């Protein structure tokens, strides 16, 4: 591993450890009225093997019974930094602008607050931008006090579906879903979610809340979508 790659890996794991120390479990929202969001079903492999890999997976990457996993091939070369502007998941009808978000005052990852950006997706700016080496993190509320929010339908996502991200430099990126997981917030595997077996490859994580508990009127879980970069398109000509 080159000195540059070791430095970048060190930076990424610093973010991971910071998230652990902050106890980051995202997007808990107390609701006045609950509308049932689709229940996420765990499926796929978090780190699909490459063309020459043996196919073995450790406990954190094992495929659930009945799950499916797209085969990962050699993907596009990593890109330089450029902030994401939009995200779309055509298979489930999700489209949104993407805003940058950082850390809250308590050191945890911030979440979109009441106002015009509440129901839009948010890119965690301490993570790579989509297309850079490592996992870019995009979060969004599943519901707010007003009802369904940007990632309300995220529970329908399945391995093999496409996630489309446009960046400020005009690049149009296609990611393919590798896996979907639903974790209790109390057991959130920060290193698995914010890390990867190979931090040199562009990856994507989508995170929202799940497992609404009517007794506490809070979400007790987090859904995480794991995806990898498969295609980079040129500058958009749309106005």
Query: Residue 38: its pLDDT value, please?
Result: 84
**What is the predicted pLDDT for the residue at 159?**
96
pLDDT value, residue 30: 39
- Residue 10 is predicted with a pLDDT of 57
Could you read off the pLDDT tens digit of each residue along the chain, which spans 239 residues?
A: 555 555 555 555 555 444 443 344 444 443 444 457 888 888 899 876 554 333 333 333 334 434 444 444 578 999 999 999 999 999 999 999 999 999 988 888 888 888 999 999 999 999 999 999 999 999 999 888 888 899 999 999 999 999 999 999 999 999 999 999 999 888 888 888 888 888 999 999 999 988 666 776 776 788 999 999 999 997 643 33
E strand residue ranges, the chain = 43-44, 84-89, 94-101, 121-124, 134-139, 143-144, 147-148, 162-167, 172-184, 202-213, 218-233
pLDDT of residue 13: 52
Structure tokens at 175: 């990611």
Q: How far apart are CA 204 and CA 180, in angstroms?
A: 12
Alpha carbon distance 239, 236 (integer Å): 8
Question: What is the C-alpha separation between 143 and 153, in angstroms, rounded?
Answer: 10
């Amino acid at each position: 591993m080159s000195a540059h790659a070791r430095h970048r890996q060190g930076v990424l794991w610093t973010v991971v450890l910071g998230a652990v120390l902050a106890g980051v479990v995202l997007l808990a929202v107390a609701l006045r009225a609950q509308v049932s969001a689709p229940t996420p079903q765990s499926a796929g492999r978090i780190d699909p093997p490459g063309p020459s890999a043996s196919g073995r997976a450790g406990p954190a990457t094992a495929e659930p019974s009945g799950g499916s996993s797209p085969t990962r091939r050699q993907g596009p070369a990593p890109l330089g930094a450029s902030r994401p502007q939009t995200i779309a998941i055509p298979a489930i009808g999700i489209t949104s602008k993407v805003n940058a978000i950082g850390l809250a005052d308590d050191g945890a990852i911030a979440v979109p607050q009441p106002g015009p950006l509440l129901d839009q997706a948010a890119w965690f700016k301490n993570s790579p931008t989509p297309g850079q080496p490592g996992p870019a993190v995009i979060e969004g509320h599943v519901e707010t006090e007003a009802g369904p929010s940007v990632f309300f339908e995220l529970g329908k996502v399945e391995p093999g579906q496409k996630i489309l991200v446009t960046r400020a430099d005009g690049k149009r990126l296609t990611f393919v879903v590798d896996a979907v997981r639903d974790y209790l917030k109390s057991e959130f595997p920060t290193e698995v979610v914010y890390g990867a077996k190979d931090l040199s490859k562009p990856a994507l994580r989508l995170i929202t809340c799940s497992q609404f508990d009517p007794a506490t009127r809070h979400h007790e879980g987090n859904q995480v979508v794991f995806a990898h970069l498969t295609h980079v398109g040129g500058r958009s000509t749309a106005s």
